[in-house]
Amino acid sequence: MQDLKAYFDELVKQYNHPDFIAADPISIPHLFTKPQDIEIMGFWSAMLAWGQRVTIINKSMELIELMDGNPYHFILHHSEKERERFASFKHRTFNYTDTLYFLDFFQRYYREHDSLEEAFVKNMKVEDEHVGNGLIGFHDEFFNHENAPHRTRKHVATPARKSRCKRLNMFLRWMVRKDTSGVDFGIWKKIRPDQLLMPLDVHVERVARRFDLIERKQNDFQTVVELTNTLKRYDATDPVKYDFALFSIGVLEKNKGV
């Protein structure tokens, strides 16, 4: 266990580094300093985060341009007519209908709240082991509108459907974790790093199983909890930092054709 911890810790040092930012979707919220801009573009780029990272970054940049380079101001003040400029925006199965609902939710939400953090923590308790209740509550609030399109639900996951919630957990890592590296933002203070859950994609899962970090056969939300709890043996206060280690191994192996 100690040898594996040392190996993972070394990889965290190597990849939890500003050099990591440019080629990753986290580069999108790093374009901003205002917390609401970071939240809006962090959330949106995380929800678009499937496929090639270059494409994800380019599509997120397209969204920023459509919002006049000022996402929070645009969200607060744009008219319904101005939403028509997004008609041609799409990324894989994310289309105009989904874009319109994201814009609508953000406008309704930010006209009443200062931070997206509130939508997660309102359904959590201090003693919660992890953010599962926050993920469920956020999903329910996000779609708590009579005009919420059913098709858009596939873009915002929930543990209630046993989803791994990979992209939401990645977004929460960005917002909550804070260390000296400057990669994650740490602008949210009401969720603790030890409550975060691992963003589990196919590469991380493959690596985790190879190192016997997961016993569960399924690939669902409980698998995410199991992996996170295993990593807490290496760092009980910040287990999700090992996302950098497992992800880097997975990407390197993919590039080598392993």
Which pLDDT belongs to residue 33?
98
- What is residue 90's DSSP assignment? -
- Of 129-138, 223-232, 246-255, give the lowest mean pLDDT range: 246-255
User: Which residues 6+ apart lie within 8 Å of 97 measured at CB?
Assistant: 149, 151, 152
Cβ(27)–Cβ(57) below 8 Å: yes
The total number of residues written for the chain in this structure: 258
- Of 79-93, 146-160, 240-254, give the lowest mean pLDDT range: 240-254
Give the angle 247-253-256 at the CA atoms, nearest 5°. 145
Contacts by 54-61 with C-beta closer than 8 Å and gap 24+?
Answer: 54/23, 55/91, 56/25, 56/91, 57/25, 57/27, 57/28, 59/89, 59/91, 60/25, 60/28, 61/28
The mean pLDDT of the chain is 95
128: alpha, beta or left? (left if phi > 0; alpha if psi -120 to 50): beta
Q: What sign does the dihedral 33-71-151-143 (CA atoms) show?
A: positive
- Here the tokens at position 207 are 């690596």
Percent of the chain with pLDDT over 70: 97
Q: Phi and psi (nearest 5°) for 94?
A: -85, 115
Predicted model pTM: 0.96
Which pLDDT belongs to residue 251?
76
What's the domain count of the chain? 1
- Here the tokens at position 174 are 């960005």
pLDDT band at residue 53, thresholds of 50, 70 and 90?
A: very high
**Residue bearing tokens 């926050």:** 134
The per-residue DSSP string of 119-164 comes to HHHTT--TT-SSTHHHHHHHHHHHT-STT--GGGGGGS--GGGT--
Q: Domain of residue 49: give its range.
A: 2-256
**More confidently predicted of 250 and 205:** 205
